[in-house]
Chains A and B, each alone.
Chain A
């Protein structure tokens, strides 16, 4: 069991918006990414841990650039090659009424190292996927009047070539479901 207070050295906090993002590689290594809001800070960042023979690694931060990052999804191709997708906003708090959210993506080939560096980018166009707070209590929050437009998660997988396929939702200016992958496509 991981407890946010001991794992991150804080007095309080949340390890997420309901569901941790998890993956396993062909060597059996387990990867977990959490969106954590630590202590009194309003910011929410993504943290990676992975299993080792000796237990679990210390959390390593993934996202860079903006303070609010929620609903991570992860996939792994070969050991250490990790793909992460999530919703991000430059709002200081995920509960901000004026938060504009966009789809973000990051990857690293060195997720098993002590200090992996991630290549990060935004996916999609200039239209936000969501404007407003993001419910972090699922249906419980919905019943309390929270903004549950994006519901609770998104997803990413890898194909047989090791290419990522990301899918996410938009509820702003027309509800849609998106997919994205890299080209050239994996075929033949």
Chain B
């Protein structure tokens, strides 16, 4: 991927120019007349689970998958499935294990119905399943596993459903991508996503990448960094001196994450 230096030019003088039933619910009516239904995602009676940093993704046939990770609390990444567009939800379940619980999690569903989940433990473990029941763990080449990753995200390509990207920052700094073309059985990489003289602050964390629905070879990722002070600090300096975050950057790939 390449960093688009003038992406957010504004005109503002920018320098670069499941089968269970959900628990308790509540409702309310919006001004537009729609009734809201609020549900508590069911947690297992025994065993740990996570509740925070929830994500939600949509698949074909009204499938939804939610996930949560209460980072650094010792509990596992927790996932919930709905097969009726959120009317009911399964009890939360883990996918895979990590000796330290979870640091982050994510879940997506491909356009062909394959499920993908990840857990950040000591490294990033990515799992895939055609049915959300039988999961396999992906393989990665080095330095995966020793690269001190942070904030990983999964991306699927709607017109290339076997292709899966996983993006994460390395040592709190630059973001890289890992790419699979076999439903996340194996990944290649790392592929640099961010970098360059102006984009290389010591700390950068990316948001979930976006795939252009008109052309799924185009992928965007936005990330925040500190200002000029961060540029003088080495990668991995992710301490309080990196705050407040004051810059927003965009990285774009036009070849499906190959570069």
Residues of A within 8 A of B (CB): 1-7, 9, 12-16, 18-28, 30, 32, 34, 37, 49, 54-59, 119, 121, 123-125, 136-142, 144, 148-160, 165-171, 175-187
B41 at the interface (CB under 8 A from A): yes
**With A20-B248, A156-B56, A165-B58 already in contact, 17 other A-B pairs whose C-beta atoms are closer than 8 Å:** A15-B247, A24-B211, A24-B220, A58-B12, A121-B30, A136-B243, A139-B103, A140-B240, A150-B52, A151-B69, A151-B70, A167-B54, A169-B52, A171-B51, A176-B41, A181-B86, A187-B87
Among A119, A139, A166, find the residue whose CB has the most chain B CB atoms closer than 10 A: A139
Are B248 and A2 in contact (CB-based, < 8 A)? yes
Q: How far is the CB of B122 from chain A (nearest CB, A)?
A: 14
Question: Does B259 interact with chain A (Cβ within 8 Å)?
Answer: no
Is chain B's interface secondary structure helix, strand, loop, or mixed overall? loop
Q: Are B84 and A155 in contact (CB under 8 A)?
A: no
Asked whether any CB of chain A lies closer than 8 Å to the CB of B89, the reply is yes
Contact count band on B? 35 or more
A93 to chain B, nearest CB (A): 14
Partner among B11, B86, B198, B205 whose Cβ is within 8 Å of the Cβ of A18: B205
Pairwise interchain contact B86-A165, C-beta atoms closer than 8 A: yes
15 contacts between A and B (CB under 8 A): A2-B247, A2-B249, A30-B210, A49-B8, A56-B8, A137-B240, A142-B72, A151-B69, A157-B56, A171-B51, A179-B56, A181-B36, A185-B87, A186-B85, A187-B84
B145 at the interface (CB under 8 A from A): no
CB-CB under 8 A from A119, the residues of chain B are 30-32
Residues from chain A with a CB closer than 8 A to the CB of B11 are: 54-56, 58
